[in-house]
Amino acid sequence: MRFLPLVILFVFLSLWANAQDPLDNRLKAYGEAKQNANLFVHFDKNVYTNYETVWFTAYLIRKSKSPINEHKLISVALIRDADSTVVIEERFPMQNGLAFGSLVLPDSLLTGDYRLLAITDRLVNNSPEAMFVQPITIKTNMSEPFKASMKLLEPSNNKVLLSVTSKDNRFLPKPTTVSYKYGNLTKTAKTDASGQLLLELPKQENISDPNLRVKLKYEKDSSLISMALPLDKNRAIVKFYPEGGNLVAGLPMNIAWEVKDQFQMPLALSALLFKNNKVIDTIETSSYGMGKFRLLADAGADYTVKLIHSGLRDSIYHLPMSLEKGISLSIAEALAQDSLRIGLRTNNPKKLIIRIHNFRENFIYAPFEMEQQFRTLKIPLTEVPKGLNTITITDSLDRPLAERMFFAHYDNTSKLSLNTDEQNYAQRQKVSLSLKLDSKIENAIVSIACVQDNRLNGKNANDIESYTFLNNELEQLPLNLNGQAYKDKAYLEQVLLVKGWRRYTWQELQQFNTNAADLKTDSLEVIGKITKSKKELTEPVTIGIFNPQQMAFATSSNTGLFNFNTSELMAEAGKKMYLFINAKNKLPYHIEVVDAFSDMNAKLRHQISYQNNILPSNLLNNSELVLKSNEKAIRLKEVTITAKKDNHLNFGRGLPGSNACGDYVCRYNILNCPNHIGDPNNTQPVPGRMYITNGHSMLYTECKESIASNGNEIFTPVKGIRLQKEFYLNDFKEPQEPAFFSTVYWNYATLLKGGKTQDISFYTSDITGKFRIVVQGLTDNDVIYAERFFEVKAKQKSDP
Structure confidence by residue, pLDDT tens digits, 545-580 = 877 667 788 889 999 998 877 777 788 777 778 888
- Do residues 44 and 55 lie in contact, with contact meaning Cβ atoms separated by under 8 Å? yes
| DSSP code for 686 | P
Residue type, 570: M
- Residue burial 463-482, b: 16+ Cβ < 10 Å; e: rest: bbbbbbbbbbbbeebbbbee
- Do residues 71 and 62 lie in contact, with contact meaning Cβ atoms separated by under 8 Å? no
What does the pLDDT read at residue 264?
77
Radius of gyration of the chain (CA): 31
Q: What is the pLDDT of residues 75-119, one digit of tens each?
A: 999 999 888 899 999 999 999 999 999 999 988 888 888 999 999
Q: What is the pLDDT of residues 672-682, one digit of tens each?
A: 777 677 777 88
Strand order in the sheet with 122-124: 127-128, 122-124, 521-523
Question: How many CA within 13 A on the CB side of residue 763?
Answer: 14
What does the pLDDT read at residue 11?
43
Name the residue among 408, 323, 329 with its Cα closest to residue 363: 408
Report the C-alpha gap between 434 and 607 in whole angstroms: 42
CA dihedral 58, 59, 65, 68 (to 10 degrees): 100
- Do residues 83 and 56 lie in contact, with contact meaning Cβ atoms separated by under 8 Å? no
- Do residues 493 and 335 lie in contact, with contact meaning Cβ atoms separated by under 8 Å? yes
Q: How confident is the model at residue 620 (pLDDT cuts 50, 70, 90)?
A: low
Average of per-residue pLDDT across 399-427: 94
Give the rounded distance of the alpha carbon of 660 from its chain centre: 33
Name the residue among 626, 560, 534 with its Cα closest to residue 139: 626
Higher pLDDT, residue 695 or 29: 29
CA dihedral 717, 720, 726, 728 (to 10 degrees): 30
* Residues in the chain, overall count: 800
Q: Which residues contact 15 (CB under 8 A, 6 or more apart)?
A: none
Report the C-alpha gap between 92 and 509 in whole angstroms: 37
Average pLDDT, rounded, for the chain: 85
In degrees and rounded to multiples of 5, residue 83 shows phi and psi of: -140, 10
Give the β-pairing of 362-370 and 327-330. unpaired
Residue type, 123: L
Q: What is the pLDDT of residues 372-394, one digit of tens each?
A: 888 899 999 999 999 999 999 99
Write out 726-754 in H/E/C secondary structure.
CCCCCCCCCCCCCCCCCEEEEEEEEEEEE
What does the pLDDT read at residue 321?
94
Residue 294: count of CB within 10 angstroms of its CB: 10
Average of per-residue pLDDT across 24-35: 84
Average of per-residue pLDDT across 725-753: 88
- 434: pLDDT strictly greater than 90: yes
572 to 122, 359, 605: CA distances (angstroms): 23, 42, 26
Q: How confident is the model at residue 310 (pLDDT cuts 50, 70, 90)?
A: confident
Q: How far apart are the two ends of the chain, measured CA to CA in Å?
A: 75
Q: Which residues contact 79 (CB under 8 A, 6 or more apart)?
A: 85, 86, 87, 114, 115, 116, 117, 601, 605, 608, 609
Q: Which residues contact 643 (CB under 8 A, 6 or more apart)?
A: 650
CA dihedral 306, 307, 308, 312 (to 10 degrees): -120
- Do residues 453 and 44 lie in contact, with contact meaning Cβ atoms separated by under 8 Å? no
Q: What is the pLDDT of residues 363-373, one digit of tens each?
A: 999 998 887 88
Q: How confident is the model at residue 633 (pLDDT cuts 50, 70, 90)?
A: low
| DSSP code for 622 | T
Name the residue among 402, 407, 403, 214 with its Cα closest to residue 326: 402
Report the C-alpha gap between 116 and 139 in whole angstroms: 15
- Do residues 716 and 86 lie in contact, with contact meaning Cβ atoms separated by under 8 Å? no
Average of per-residue pLDDT across 222-231: 83
- 292: pLDDT strictly greater than 80: yes
Report the C-alpha gap between 763 and 422 in whole angstroms: 12
What does the pLDDT read at residue 649?
40
- 405: pLDDT strictly greater than 90: yes
Give the β-pairing of 112-120 and 73-80. antiparallel
Predicted structure pTM score: 0.85
Q: How confident is the model at residue 711 (pLDDT cuts 50, 70, 90)?
A: very low
Report the C-alpha gap between 207 and 368 in whole angstroms: 51
